[in-house]
A and B are shown apart, each in its own frame.
Chain A
Amino acid sequence: MIYLIDDKRTRQKDFGWTKEKFAQYASCLTPLYNINDVVNIGEDLYNDGNIILYHESFLDFTGDRDRAVEQRNKLAGKAASINGLSVAFFSGSQSSRSLDKDMAFLPVATLYQNLEVLIQQYNQQCGHLKHILFGENPEIEEKLNELLTKANREIERDAAVISGSNLFIRPNSRYIQNAIEGASEEIFFNDVSDEKLSEKINDWLGEREYDNIYIPLCFGKTLSDFNGLRLATHIRCTPTSNQIKRIFIYSFVGIEYLYQNEYFNILKTQNVQLVDYSKKAFELVANDPFITLKQEGLEKQINMLKLDPPLNYVDSHSIANEWAVYRWAHAINASDNSIQSVNQNIGSNLYFKYLTTIYPPSQIAQVADQELKINCDSSPYILYVDDDAEKGWFEIFSKILVDINDFDLQYIDSELDGKSQNEIISLVSDKVVTEGIDLVMLDYRLYPGDFDQSDFHEITGLKLLNAIKSINPGIQVIMFSATNKIWNLQAMQDAGANGFVIKEAPENNGDSGFKSKSVAGFLNLFFDATKRIFIKDFYKSLFRVEENLNSCDFEDGSGYEGFLKELKSQLKIVRQTGKQVDPKVSMTIDVAFLMCYNFLERFKDYYLLEKDYRFYLGSKELSLHRYQYRNGFVINEGEFIRDGQNDNPSWFQCITGLLVDYFEVIGNEDPTIKILWQVKNCRNSYIHERKSFFSKAELLEISNLMIKITSAMKE
């Protein structure tokens, strides 16, 4: 356990240690504010492995001062005698950090600055006090502190004299005074985030042009971050009037300290130079001959940086997401607050600035509004499911699908927050059913656990895809994701995904036409999907057929039971063929239609009986009538009596007889009979090659006949 013994609650907030933050680390950090709390812990306070952080002036100016001093003395004694007990004393008048075996002394600010690092190291069994003194990289940080002190102590008194216009940037403390005669001077304080650096660069370098820009290698709270390299990269990637000016990074350490830094490559680029921490050196480098960097040469220089995506993002997908929003929004000219926020981040985050310097927005092909029109004859109900929907995508899709194409678009975004995977699946599935959704745009990773999931079968998007397809395989599902892993895509395709929209990863930027292709690809996917929406209705019919068959299910070992089983098997085949239906491949509809026809033919085969040259229907042996369809009228010519050996009842007569007379589900003037007639005709035309394919409508019609015929079955 780490015990923090400090009665000064208010100042803890100064250093960012709020109640909530303490609560976050409650399992390993116990703050103690009064002497009784300390005493009550007893000897457990000194347990092996414990770390005690003690305010030197704990309870000064209170009635408990003497007890606190006694406790402090006891602690010092314990620290000296107990191996494994670490004690750090911190104080507002302490200006330096020191460590002697298991006892440390440090300033208050340093303690609170590094406390989080200490906790993390402690949780990894590396809770050495050096981390409370110097943070994450204590050895190098300590060395840098020493070197900086020495460098500042030894700095020349007189200012450097450098011709031209110079900007000298420095940290707020421990800096070079009186650096360059007549130079403009600007200061960085503690905040060295990308946002702050961008803001300052725009302020300081936006208008006035400088010949030379001097920046410190180390500034911000952690010297070993070598923020100067990042700042130089920022300057190069920020379009200002000083973007291509000479940059000198003044440093009290040699280049060997910097090889591991992610922005090291900036030192390989033109007119960025590491300079000694000395005013004389400032003068010398300014007078070195150099070749001016041209704007047109900048892209090549920045390409040399080879930056990796920042680690502070949840994963590379978040980066791809923002980058894609930015590029899509730019391509289709979409904008709202969410997109502006993304654009703002693109303008300040160094990685994005690096990308925009290499792939300037001017290279993104523009897609005009009229090109966004999807020519389809239906108006599908669309559901967009993405935890990032409100980060710009909803606006982009709204523009394409609602503003331009007048579709009905709903989305699920923040409702997913904090839900378990099962809850997410259930929430979306319910919405699909209740809202009668035709088309779902589905993000692959919807649940935080998905980002650590190595088994792609467990990814929420894939599970949800399966769930939607089990509701109705005809619901169109377009997967929308930053994943470009082939096995992920393969799994989604196997599960019935009807298409993929890949959020544009930065690595795809090399293809200058990628953006317009992405948008066009998206529109094509939608066009195709709307053409397939009828499949959902086809399946609806098949589900009703299945319900009908299930309702008359019974087991008696009779032929009727066998017939029902046969129908169910045939229905399975029909459903399977439905999955293959693709309007662009007419044969797929043909197969589905013919399988449905086969289903109906089974009825003729089972119910039609011949006895003594007469035909009967079913076990009731109801006489078969000779039905005809002529000129739009159904004609019952009476009992079917054979005219000759070749006079057999047709499929039409038999099915009509079943519907009208045997099952009594329609009257003899019901329009169903007309449909039956048409189905029979178009099937015959197809078989006799007078017709080359079946239409979507014909498939739906025959599926409706299947519902009718199974709706009141009897033996």
Chain B
Amino acid sequence: MAKTKYDFIEEILKNKKINQNQRERILELASREISLEGTLEKRIQKIEEIIYNHNTENKVFQTEVPRNFEDSNLRQYIDPFNLYKFLFEYNQNPILRTTCHDIDSNELENVNKICNSDTYDYNKHLSKIIENYDQHEKKYSATRQITGLIRGYLKGKNKWSYNIEYNWSSPKLKQWAKENPSIPPNLNENIAGEQEIELLVIKPQINSPITYDSIQSFTQLVLHFKNLFHLKSGKQGLRAILDRVNSNKKWNVKVDFEITDQDFPKNLEHFTDVDKLIEAYNKLIQLIIEQCQGDEKPKVKLSFYEIDKRVYLSVHHLNGQYNKTLQNCLDRPYGKTYTSLIEKQVNGMCNIYLKADFGNKEYACINLWNSKKLEDFKLDSFTGVEHILEFPKIKES
């Protein structure tokens, strides 16, 4: 395949011999070449996006709506639907789904059929996985953090989530597969137990920050991978995850939480970057604690719900008041915390709205980060400060 200009830029930037001065010149030239405007940082970001997602013309998303925040260093808006779509379709792909489920006889039949093999063949399976993933990346898009992580999980070379060295292509797994021919490495644990098969041991064990389970086998690792992107029920549900976070981070000591079954069902499913979601949640709780004045313990109501193909997580500080006026907020919406939150967690994962009592009997909802221009929607009345994370499951029209 002929190299594109993006390949060329990528190669030069990756060359370790270039110095800082040369690097800036390349970026300047590259920005001219692709006619970008804006601050240097914005241009660099754009180039990064283009480089890492360089076959954009085939992709289904690419709906970034430029938001004009001259006073902000925030990146370009990334539609969070893309992440949902990327993960959802990954889970629907008959071969890729085998990398996030354990394997029983039925699943094994499917794998063998796809691999055109009578018995399980790890190498064929892996080759199909990589082939399917490469196509998946071409068809759908996600941030480079996500694609990098999944590549690490499937293709190896780099450590992936929590610096885990075990992956579908790791030498240890290959060795295990040699010693256990015809056995899928992510065989259902119960079946493995019945057949007295020792699955590849993950050593030292990884303690999942999502489910708090200890991951000790490759099958458990595969299920852990799924937990990184799929909110389900029980331990894998957001309610249970946040319960554990509140306990582990001792939020529940500092905050009085109001969490009801009605407002926060335990089994609402969603595909997203669960780690990032937890990070975002922690930042919001931290913000509430920091902004809380006086001796009164913050009261926070958590809600998780789905309306019209959009999933929402609401963190509502019931006894709080926003610490800026509405006008101040509109003038300079992104302080250090929001910038960091949007930059590192929210952008590409979800939209975020602020609904608050701004004092002086001013109540409003502000679309802090979505595809639209920032504006306020006045409310007749509102109590407290509510941050709403919006996870669209449909594409914005």
List residues of chain A with CB under 8 Å of any chain B CB: 8-11, 13-15, 60-61, 76, 89, 91-98, 100, 103, 105-106, 108-110, 113, 149-150, 152-153, 157, 172-175, 177-178, 187, 189-191, 221
Interchain CB contact under 8 A, B207 and A153: yes
The 5 closest A-B pairs by CB, nearest first: A98-B234, A109-B190, A96-B235, A190-B193, A105-B233
Say yes or no for B105: interface residue by CB 8 A criterion: yes
Say yes or no for B325: interface residue by CB 8 A criterion: no
Interchain CB contact under 8 A, A105 and B198: no
Interchain CB contact under 8 A, B232 and A105: yes
Interchain CB contact under 8 A, B106 and A103: no
- Using A11-B106, A14-B104, A100-B261 as known contacts, say yes or no to A94 and B236 having CB atoms under 8 A apart: yes
- Nearest-neighbour CB distance to chain B for A222, whole angstroms, equals 12
- Using A95-B236, A113-B190 as known contacts, say yes or no to A10 and B105 having CB atoms under 8 A apart: yes
Interchain CB contact under 8 A, A157 and B204: yes
Say yes or no for B371: interface residue by CB 8 A criterion: no
- Using A14-B104, A95-B223, A105-B233 as known contacts, say yes or no to A149 and B213 having CB atoms under 8 A apart: yes
9 other A-B residue contacts (CB within 8 Å) besides A153-B213, A190-B190, A190-B194: A61-B94, A61-B110, A92-B103, A100-B261, A109-B190, A172-B192, A173-B193, A173-B216, A189-B193
Q: Which of B106, B194, B265, B267 has the most CB of A within 10 A?
A: B106
Bound-state CA distance A8–B188 (Å) is: 14
What's the interface size class on B, roughly? Answer: 35 or more
Closest residue to A148 on the B side, CB-wise? B214
Bound-state CA distance A11–B234 (Å) is: 24
Bound-state CA distance A109–B286 (Å) is: 40
Say yes or no for B220: interface residue by CB 8 A criterion: yes
- Using A93-B223, A177-B216 as known contacts, say yes or no to A11 and B104 having CB atoms under 8 A apart: yes
Interchain CB contact under 8 A, A172 and B198: yes
Contact partner of A153 (CB less than 8 A), chosen from B192, B194, B214, B226, is: B214
Interchain CB contact under 8 A, A98 and B235: yes
Say yes or no for B70: interface residue by CB 8 A criterion: no
Bound-state CA distance A172–B213 (Å) is: 15
Interchain CB contact under 8 A, B216 and A94: no
Residues of B close to A149: CB separation below 8 A:
212-214
Residues of B close to A152: CB separation below 8 A:
205, 214, 216
Residues of B close to A100: CB separation below 8 A:
233, 261, 265-267
Bound-state CA distance A125–B94 (Å) is: 41
- Nearest-neighbour CB distance to chain A for B163, whole angstroms, equals 15
B interface secondary structure, majority: mixed
Residues of A close to B217: CB separation below 8 A:
173
Closest residue to A150 on the B side, CB-wise? B212
Interchain CB contact under 8 A, A98 and B240: yes
- Using A89-B233, A95-B223, A105-B267 as known contacts, say yes or no to A14 and B105 having CB atoms under 8 A apart: yes
- Nearest-neighbour CB distance to chain B for A27, whole angstroms, equals 27
Interchain CB contact under 8 A, B203 and A178: yes
Residues of B close to A108: CB separation below 8 A:
104, 188
Bound-state CA distance A109–B100 (Å) is: 16
1/0 contact string of B367-397 vs chain A (CB within 8 Å): 0000000000000000000000000000000
Interchain CB contact under 8 A, A93 and B267: no
- Nearest-neighbour CB distance to chain A for B161, whole angstroms, equals 16
Interchain CB contact under 8 A, A97 and B216: no
State which residues 96-116 of B face A: CB under 8 Å: 100-107, 109-110
Bound-state CA distance A157–B204 (Å) is: 8
- Nearest-neighbour CB distance to chain B for A214, whole angstroms, equals 18
Interchain Cβ contacts under 8 Å between A and B, 23 examples: A11-B105, A11-B106, A14-B188, A15-B191, A61-B94, A89-B233, A93-B230, A93-B232, A94-B234, A94-B236, A96-B234, A97-B234, A98-B234, A105-B232, A108-B188, A109-B189, A110-B190, A113-B190, A152-B214, A173-B216, A187-B198, A190-B193, A190-B196
- Nearest-neighbour CB distance to chain A for B106, whole angstroms, equals 4
Residues of A close to B207: CB separation below 8 A:
153
1/0 contact string of B217-253 vs chain A (CB within 8 Å): 1001001101100101111110010000000000000
Bound-state CA distance A13–B106 (Å) is: 10
- Nearest-neighbour CB distance to chain B for A155, whole angstroms, equals 8
1/0 contact string of B253-274 vs chain A (CB within 8 Å): 0000000010001110000000
Residues of B close to A13: CB separation below 8 A:
105
- Nearest-neighbour CB distance to chain A for B72, whole angstroms, equals 39
Residues of B close to A9: CB separation below 8 A:
106
Interchain CB contact under 8 A, A98 and B104: no
Residues of A close to B103: CB separation below 8 A:
92
Q: Which of B103, B192, B234 has the most CB of A within 10 A?
A: B234
Residues of B close to A89: CB separation below 8 A:
233
Say yes or no for B211: interface residue by CB 8 A criterion: yes
- Using A14-B188, A100-B261, A190-B194 as known contacts, say yes or no to A177 and B203 having CB atoms under 8 A apart: yes
Bound-state CA distance A98–B231 (Å) is: 14
Bound-state CA distance A177–B220 (Å) is: 15
Residues of B close to A157: CB separation below 8 A:
204
- Using A187-B198, A190-B194 as known contacts, say yes or no to A105 and B234 having CB atoms under 8 A apart: yes
1/0 contact string of B262-299 vs chain A (CB within 8 Å): 00011100000000000000000000000000000000
Residues of A close to B201: CB separation below 8 A:
177
